[in-house]
Structure formats: structure tokens, C-alpha cells
Structure 1
Amino acid sequence: MLIWKWLKQTGLFGLAIILFLVVMIFSFIFWEDPTAPSQLLEKENTSVGPAPSFIGGKYESPVVLTTVGHLYPDIEFKNGEDLQNNVLSRLFEDKLGIQVNYLWTTTGDEDVYINKLNTLIATGQSLPDIVTFKGGQNMYSLLRSGAFRDVGELFEQYASPKWKAAMAQAPESWDRYMINGKKMAIPILDGKMNSNEVLYIRQDWLDKLGLQAPTTLDEMESVMDAFVHLDPDGNGKDDTYGLSISLKNSFFTWMSDAGFVFGAYGEMPDIWSTDAYGMLSYGSVQPSIRQGLTTLKRWMERGYIPKDAEILDEVQATESWKLGKVGMIVAPLWAAGWPLGNVTTNVPDARFEAYPIPAGPSGLSGTRGTPPEYGAIAINANMANPEIFFNYMNFVYDNFIDPPAGSPYRWGIAEGYDYGYEDGKVTFLESQVPGGFADPQKYLLSLSLPSVPNLLSESIARINSGVSDQTSYDIKNKLLRTPQELKGWQIVESNPSVYKTDAFTGAPTPTMEKIGDVLDELLHDAMLKIVYGQEPLSSFDLVVARWHKLGGDKITEEVNDWYTSLEKINQ
């Protein structure tokens, strides 16, 4: 009765208080640790279901493998095909009985892909069997969500001997995907030195202006000045540039790279390297970065590099090269084919060559090397038969990478798509293939053809040395590689110390996950403002101090804890 009398006196306010108390009591009674569902999910769904019948390398009844994808700019189709229905998907259905079903795809910025996956997990929606991540994407919140399973034992159980042998050549590729001691994604292996960078220069411009290729930054400035002011394309207009770079995502990136400017003074931005004390330090906050920023600022002011570098991604920055408006670009070896080779579409007489990375005033030079992997594949914790995925990838490794003698895939995956015939001879010239190329490698779950790390570099070495006993893989490579790329390989092999990779290869540390992206953005924005003359060079020191204070010191401590533990393991 007292409660009823009190309710009559307090009205709706009193009723709200009682309801609040009831809700709180039930919340405490039925409260669970918010991390528990993901932990339970992982424990409950890591069992493997009854395997479908796989006889003679093919499923008796077709099986479905679900995934999702992002349509990257280098993916092309022909004959009305798409990512769901194409020459490769039909091959896997015919040869293995595996149907790959794309639940959805995204376009545009690749962050859209990661954001959509995060949304699916946050809202409890179902995920596909397989999710592929490209290198550099922030996939760690997904891998920690409990939606994916430990792949270590699965790899040992189901991967083919050839795939295991490839992984054994680069065991460090697992490091980035190790979370709490578990292998949470399978790295997609890259070829050793495959993405090392060289300086590509329009040779016809050099010859026209009577110039030699630069070997130092000072010489490079002189060449750029000539390329900008002496009308190398001969159209009578002031419309050419010395160098194309992309500054949108990073000052140290995989194409249209500006990282070599910093390497000329010692430290490389955006990666960790060993300092004089044997510890890891972050390149972006080192004093020598100031010299690289000063150089880029001068080049920007003098019109040597396009003003829109800050809004162009790595591929977009190659457009000015392809249009015949830029004389130099730093890019990976394979870029001599695509996209740089496309310059002849717009300028048929264009000629370009590969040259070593120019050195700085103290003789130093440095640029981006090749990480051991370019992405990873995660397996849904609810996937009952993960061996389906492994049968898919085993087929890739056993048939598409260094195919055995007599293989129908000796020249590529599909005639008319990644190779053709002209007068009875195999050709890799797109102009000789009806309808042009549409590379099926780009449709693979691995995003491209994965590698046996040492296979390509050893093959190129044999080709460049002219040995007579070349393998069928060597013969294909010699036909497939452009003269510029083969020359680039000679440059790379003779200058190994130039190429830098991140010494921190582990998963993000706790502080990195909390604030790492914010701190990187802080540094990136500050560096852009200096290059574009919006802030003085002195502002760099202030931003570096903020980086240390806001979490950089803690990240450095965590990174070196990881580094120390790695040394103990290897002792």
C-alpha cells in the first residue's frame, strides 16, 4: 500500500524510477561478458563437418564456396562476364565441382569493403565462408571479432605439399596474422623482390633533350627542370611534369612512390626499422624526414610534380604518365607492363627505361622493397567444410604456379584471356588477342596469382644470365616480361641494400589498434601541409612531439616488446 500511495504522489516520475530499477535488476541477473559470445562462437564452430565426397580431384556433387569481393581498378572482364560468372568460375566448376558464390561486391574506395564487413559483424548478419583482405587494409578488428577461425591446424591438415613448401620459404609471412598465438588468416605469398621499385624514365625525352639518366637527387632535379620547361613532348605547350607521385594514402607506397626522396636522407616514413641501439624506431618521426619534406616542397613549388598528388591514389597517379605528360615515376618492377606500358596507347612512339633509385647528398638511397605477403584470407568460424577452400587453393598452387610439363595451363589460365596465339605461336601482346586481355588471375580468391617466394627471382636470374637449360616457367617468363622489367630485375639484384621493408611484421599492438590510425593521419596531414606550403617546416617538430605524447611512445614500447620476444624465440 505504501508503494501505491507513493506512486499516486509521484505519478509518471515514480513509475519511471520503478521501471528503471526493474531493468537494472534483470540486467545484473542476466549480464554476460560482452566478449563471451565471440569466444563461444569460436569454440563452438571450429569443428569440421562431414566432408563432401571428393574423388579424383573433383566433388561428386557440386559444392558452394561463398565469398565477397571488391572490384579493384585493375580487374577487367570480357564476353559479358563478371566476378560471379566468368572463365575462371566455370573452370573451377568443371574441374573441381566448386561453385564460388559472391554474396556481394563493392566498388570505389577499398575502405567501403572493410566497413561493410565490420557492419555485418556488428549487426550479427551472416558472413561468407571466405573473406580476402588486401595488404594494408585494417582487418584486425574483424580477425579479433570471433567471426573467423584459427587456420593453423587447417593449413597443416589440408594444404598441398607445394603450398606448404612455398610457405616454408617465407615463414615470417604468418607474423602479421598471429593474434593471441593463433594464425587467424592465411597469408597470400608474394614473390621475392617482385614488387621492388625502380625509377622509370621516358628515354625518348632524355634522348631528345640530350640528357643522361640521373644518379643523384641533384641530377634528378636538373632533369625534371628540363622535362618541365623544354617541351619534351614537342606540342609547344607548358603541360609536362618531371615526376608523378601519389601522396593520398602515404609517403611510402607501392606505386607512384615518393618514399625514395626520404630514403636519400636515411629514414623511410611509415615503417619501423632498427636504430643505432638495436631497437625499432618509427621512420615518420625521425629528424631526417625534415630533409625529405624540404625537397618535396621545393619540387612542388617549382612545378616538377603535379599539384593534385595529394588527392590521387597510387594507380590514379599513373594516369599522367600514361597520357604522356610525365617523364619519371618510381614503381614496382612489374609495372613496366601494366600500367606504365599503356603509355604507348596514347603516345605510340614513347620509349622508357628502368634506372636505379637516385642517391642523396651522402650517397644514401632507399625505396620500398617487397613484403613477403600482399594480403590474407580468413575462414568463417561457422564454415563446416573448410577443406573446400583448401582444395580450391591447392589446385591454384599445383596447376597455375609453375605448371608441370604438358599442363594445359603452361601459358596461362585461359586462352583468349591472359594469352593467345598469333600465326601458331603463343603471344602475350594484347593487340594480338581478339577483344584484348581480361586476366583471370584477378578473379581468384587470392586477388591475384600467389607465389612461391623464390620461384620468380630465380627464374629471372636464369633468364638474365642466358643459361641454356631454362625451364618451361623460364620460357614463359621471358615472353611475358618486358625488356624494361628484365633490366629492372638486374638493377634490383645488384642493389639489395636499397630496398626497405617494415621491420615490425606483427599484428597491431593494443595502442596501435586504439589510436594508431589517428596518429598516422596526424603525421600524414602535417607532412602534406608542409609539402604544399601551408605550414612551415618547424611545424613538423611540434607534430612529432604530439605523436610521442598522444601514444607514440607507448606504441614504440609495445613494438619493441614484440621485437624482444621475437629475438628470444629465435635464440
Structure 2
Amino acid sequence: MKRKGQFSIILANILVCSVVLAGCGSKDNGIEQSGSANSGNQGTGEAVIEPLGKYDPPIDVTAAKFITQDVVYPEGQSESKNAWEDLYKEMGINLKYDWIVKGTDAQYFQKLNLSIASGEIPDLMMVNSSQLKQLVESDMLEDLTSVYEKYATPAVKSVFEQDKQALQSVTFDGKLYAIPKTEPMIGAQTPLLWLRTDWLTKLGLTEPKTWEEVLQISNAFTTKDPDGNGKADTFGIALSKDIINGYPSLNGFLNAYGAYPRIWKKDASGNLVYGSIQPEVKSALAKLAELYKNGELDKEFGVKDGSKVAESLVGDRIGMLFGPSWASQWPLQDNKKKNGAAEWRAFPIPSVDGGNATVQMPFGASFYYVVKKDMKHPEIAVKMANLFMEKLYGETADYLKYGVDSSGITVAKYSMVDLFAPDKDINRSVNVAEAIKIGDPSKLNPEEKSTYDKIKAFEGGDLNFYGEMYQNGPEGAMMVLKKLSDEGKVIAEGYGGAPTDTMGEKKATLEKMETEIFTKIVYGAASIDQFDKFVEDWKALGGDQITQEVNEWNASQK
């Protein structure tokens, strides 16, 4: 018995050593590599979780990419050769683009719709909410629930802890199907009133405190030759064909009337109602039709996208813009560089009822990153999100290389996947303002320090940072938005769930109908009373059903 027991112990030790040696040998055979996402775990067969680890051997990932029309590249760089593409290669990620769209998001999503219809989609892509729902229902996407929990870094998870509705919006039957492209929407899309203050001075006008004064300025910018060229070629208000949620849009103008297009907001009883069908919208549209008839809007706005309207702003043809904080960066900075006398400033939008208007802030994520069903490395979307947060804000951050370079070019836009914390922009401006006040930037993070340096460069005469100064400086747009936020004058999108069944079927059609009738009313091609018919049609064609579904979600949150 004793010898049998000793033999058993010896045999057990031999087996343990064999396992250990096999595990060690696997490293030499390429199964386990330091930092590899695919590595073995000393013979257990379990993957080593490396949220920022390199793929070794490298992996190929097909993708579709959207590049906004304002993106520029330093000399010698391009869509396929830049800091982020180089980083991906270093990390063992070989991106192979099926196609790239540089233009508007509408153009990108139109092309993506063709790919979805054909059944041929890339491994990694950005989608909108309707496409997300369609792809989930068609079983074309990978469930990311597990890889998110395993791979997401604390920095990434903290973003979604701040904006809890973001992950709710991509959860279907308890499963996570996308990584939301979150943005600090208060800085990204919340509207302000931008004015050519040099034109105000020239015409003897003051900064507006009331809505009536805003309308007087629009008329003066149209009729009193503010550019001094002796021609009737200026307009009061900038507007593009994408009149709701476009650039420039009507959102800020409508907000002045207490109207909140294309968001869900709570009524007095706590139920969610759709902003675009409320009676305040009718009042705002009636005024816009009057302004159009008076020549205060470009007669061709209905066929011009944001880039065409930007040409008019840069060319001294428009002096008023309802737009986001970043308008100073594009295109208003280009106007300043073309015409050194031009001066733009951001102001709160006055309300028709007096005081500052409450302005709307859309949902924190409009777009989403998804992975094709059965893709071998579904964690790729999460790891790219990790990389983005790390290289901009982490221990190995290099903001000038991966965020905004020393010449003011936003390199971060080259990244395949990006996301931002909801309060990032306001915090940056507050911290930079304090650093400027005390003359000490030592406590700023890399992004804030970059902003600080650019503002100092502008103060030294560098017009390349005019936009930075008047977006993020002590007197810039973000500080105006902070004041509005502190006053409770910012209203957020009230619905944060995944697209409902009827949204998936009807939302695109309803929004198209909305844009068409609003445009016709402004043009004068439809009477203002057609708004009432639009409301009836919206309800009958699916709006009432969507309202019911939205409020079922709303009730579940109480």
C-alpha cells in the first residue's frame, strides 16, 4: 500500500511537469505571445485577455469608413497612411477598407444600405440606429456582450457609466450588439447663436438680448449691405437642405419658440411626446416662411448641403448661424483667415418669451460600431475603443500625435473607432480657463494642455487657432453652454432605448415626410396649415404606435 501510494505521487508529479513543460513549449510554437489577444493561458486553452494587447500574428479586418467633409491630412498623409493607421499596424491590425466615403453621413449610410441589401457587409463598420435594428433582426451581427465585459478598459466603461442610456440603446433581448459612438453632445450639437459682430458694429447694432432684436439683426444683415460691396448679396440666416439636425439646421431657431424638433421630451404628466409635432413648431415655421419671403434666407437653401453653405459663410455672404460650439473651427475660422476683419462670437439664443431659450441636446450616441456575425475577432471593436481612450487620455497618451496636432489638425478623426465622455468638452473649457487665469497649465490633461497651447498661440497672433479660442477659450462657445447648462436651459433627448419595432419600420419614412413638409412651408410651396395635416399623417402612419412603444419604455424606467 505504501509503495502504491508513492507511485501515485510520482505519477502525479510527472503529469504536472508534463503540463507545465507543454505550456512552456507552446510559447515557442507561437500559441502564446506576450500581449497577444489570441494567446493560450499556459495550456488551459483559455484566451489571455489583453485589452490593449497586440495581435501576433496580425489579423486582417475588413471595414467601411466614413470621413467627414472637414477632415484634412498633413502633407504626405492620407486615409490609409496616418498616425492611427500606423498604430493599428503596430498593434497587428491590418485594416482593409471595402470602401470609404468622404462627405456627409447621409452619403455614407446610403452606400452602407446597398451593402446591407446585398448581404455583403464588412467585418467592422459604423451604422445608424435604423441599420442597427435591421442588422440585429437579420442576424447579421455578432453579440458583443461577453467581449465588452472582458475587454473594455475602465476608461471605456466609465464613459458608459456616465451615459447609461448609450448601452441601453444597443441592447436587444438582453444582448449588446454595438459599441456606441458617444459624443459630448452639449458641445457637439447643442445650438448657439453665432453672429458677425464686426457687422453689428458697422451697422450700429448691439448684441441681442431679445428675440425681436435677433430678427432685426437678420433683416439688417440682409438689407443694409453689411459687407459694403454695394450689392444686395447677403442673407441674414444660414440654412442648409438638412433643415433638422443638419448643418446648419433650424434646431436653434425652433428652440427660440419652445419647439424641439426630432427629440422626445416629457410633457407635464411625465409622458414622452415627439417634439416635431408640437404646436410651437408651427409658429416657428410661420416666421421662417416670412423670413424666406423677405429674402433673409438663401433662395436655394433647399438644394445646398453644409459644404455649400460654408462657402457662403466664408465668402462674407451670411452673418448669422444657429450652430454648435465647433462652428468657430469650421467654417468660421476660414472666414477669419480669408477676411481678417471678420469677427464671430457665440451667444445664448433668446426666447420669444423673454430670457434665454432652452436649447436641445440630442441623444449621446447617434451612430454605432458593429461587428459582422461570425467574425473571428469580435473583440476588435472594443479594443479599438480602448486604444482611442488610451492614446488620448491614458498613461501612454500622445495627444499631439493622436488627438489634435500642433498645427490644429484633428488627427483623432482618422481613428476607425472613437468615443468621448459626455462632460469632456465643458470640463476642458473650465479647466483651460482656470489655467489661463492663474498662468499655470501644469494640472491640465494632454487634451486640455493642447487647447491651452493653441489659445496662447492665437493670443500671439496665429490665426490658425482662431476657432479654438472662440470655441474653448474663456469667452468661447463652451463657456456659454456651461452657463446655459448651469441654468437648466439644456433639454436632452428623453428616449434612450433601442429602436422600437415601429421605429425600425417607419422612422425613416416619417422623418423624410417631416423634412419635406417643413421645407415646403418655409419655401412657401405649402401653406402653414399643412403643418396640421402633417401631424395627422405622422400619427396615422406609425407615429402613434411609436409614441406608445416609447412610453412603454419610459414607464419601465420609473
The TM-score, its normalising length taken from structure 1, stands at 0.79
Q: Which of 179, 187, 194 is the aligned partner of 1:186?
A: 179
Deviation at 1:273, TM superposition (A): 0.7
Match of 1:555?
546
Deviation at 1:192, TM superposition (A): 5.7
Counterparts of 1:280-429 in structure 2 under 5 Å?
A: 280-361=272-353, 363=355, 365-369=357-361, 371-400=363-392, 402-404=393-395, 407=396, 409-413=398-402, 418-420=404-406, 428=407
Match of 1:160?
153
Change (3 A) 1:533 1:456: closer
Long gaps (5+) in structure 1: 1-48, 421-427, 430-436
The TM-score, its normalising length taken from structure 2, stands at 0.81
Q: Which of 218, 224, 230 is the aligned partner of 1:224?
A: 218
Q: Deviations for 1:515-563, whole angstroms, at most 9, x for unmatched residues?
A: 2222222232222222111222222212212222232222211111111
SS at match of 1:326: coil
Counterparts of 1:45-194 in structure 2 under 5 Å?
A: 51=38, 57-79=53-75, 81-94=77-90, 96-106=91-101, 110-125=105-120, 127-133=121-127, 138-191=131-184, 193-194=186-187
Change (3 A) 1:101 1:504: same
Change (3 A) 1:124 1:555: closer
| CA distance in 1: counterparts of 2:399 and 2:101, whole angstroms | 32
Q: Which of 427, 433, 443 is the aligned partner of 1:470?
A: 443
Match of 1:454?
423
Change (3 A) 1:148 1:293: same
Q: Which of 484, 489, 497 is the aligned partner of 1:498?
A: 489
Deviation at 1:163, TM superposition (A): 1.3
| CA distance in 2: counterparts of 1:530 and 1:250, whole angstroms | 12
Q: Deviations for 1:254-294, whole angstroms, at most 9, x for unmatched residues?
A: 53131222222222121111112211111111112111011
Match of 2:28?
none
The alignment yields a C-alpha RMSD, in angstroms, of 2.6
| CA distance in 2: counterparts of 1:217 and 1:298, whole angstroms | 15
| CA distance in 2: counterparts of 1:455 and 1:543, whole angstroms | 39
- Matched-pair contact (CA < 8 Å) for 1:250–1:270: no
> Identity of aligned pairs, percent?
27
Deviation at 1:344, TM superposition (A): 2.1
Counterparts of 1:479-558 in structure 2 under 5 Å?
A: 479-480=453-454, 482-485=468-471, 486=473, 487-496=476-485, 497-558=488-549
Match of 2:9?
none
| CA distance in 2: counterparts of 1:343 and 1:509, whole angstroms | 43
| CA distance in 2: counterparts of 1:390 and 1:136, whole angstroms | 19
Match of 1:240?
234
Change (3 A) 1:225 1:565: same
Match of 2:203?
209
Q: Deviations for 1:409-445, whole angstroms, at most 9, x for unmatched residues?
A: 142328xxx423xxxxxxx35xxxxxxx4x4322211
Change (3 A) 1:193 1:385: same
SS at match of 1:504: coil
Deviation at 1:162, TM superposition (A): 1.6
Change (3 A) 1:391 1:184: closer
Deviation at 1:187, TM superposition (A): 0.6
Deviation at 1:370, TM superposition (A): 5.1
Deviation at 1:156, TM superposition (A): 0.7
Deviation at 1:311, TM superposition (A): 2.1
Change (3 A) 1:327 1:92: same
Change (3 A) 1:162 1:483: same
| CA distance in 2: counterparts of 1:71 and 1:394, whole angstroms | 21
Q: Deviations for 1:127-151, whole angstroms, at most 9, x for unmatched residues?
A: 3221113x57644212322111221
| CA distance in 2: counterparts of 1:527 and 1:502, whole angstroms | 21
- Matched-pair contact (CA < 8 Å) for 1:254–1:331: no
| CA distance in 2: counterparts of 1:257 and 1:470, whole angstroms | 38
* One-letter amino acid of the counterpart of residue 413, structure 1: Y
| CA distance in 2: counterparts of 1:218 and 1:336, whole angstroms | 25
Deviation at 1:78, TM superposition (A): 4.4
Match of 1:46?
none
| CA distance in 2: counterparts of 1:523 and 1:455, whole angstroms | 33
- Matched-pair contact (CA < 8 Å) for 1:241–1:327: yes
* One-letter amino acid of the counterpart of residue 449, structure 2: I
| CA distance in 2: counterparts of 1:113 and 1:411, whole angstroms | 28
Q: Deviations for 1:484-534, whole angstroms, at most 9, x for unmatched residues?
A: 113212211111233233212222222222222222222322222221112
* One-letter amino acid of the counterpart of residue 470, structure 1: K
Change (3 A) 1:115 1:490: closer
- Matched-pair contact (CA < 8 Å) for 1:149–1:380: yes
SS at match of 1:450: coil
Change (3 A) 1:224 1:461: same
Match of 1:434?
none
- Matched-pair contact (CA < 8 Å) for 1:71–1:106: yes
Deviation at 1:398, TM superposition (A): 1.2
SS at match of 1:65: strand
Change (3 A) 1:502 1:334: same
Deviation at 1:374, TM superposition (A): 4.3
| CA distance in 2: counterparts of 1:374 and 1:101, whole angstroms | 25
| CA distance in 1: counterparts of 2:37 and 2:199, whole angstroms | 64
Change (3 A) 1:75 1:50: closer
* One-letter amino acid of the counterpart of residue 454, structure 1: D
Deviation at 1:116, TM superposition (A): 4.1
SS at match of 2:186: coil
| CA distance in 1: counterparts of 2:284 and 2:546, whole angstroms | 24
| CA distance in 2: counterparts of 1:505 and 1:308, whole angstroms | 36
Q: Which range moved further: 450-459 or 285-294?
A: 450-459
SS at match of 2:187: coil
Q: Deviations for 1:98-156, whole angstroms, at most 9, x for unmatched residues?
A: 2211122245554454344444444443x3221113x5764421232211122122111
User: How many residues are matched?
Assistant: 491
| CA distance in 1: counterparts of 2:304 and 2:119, whole angstroms | 35
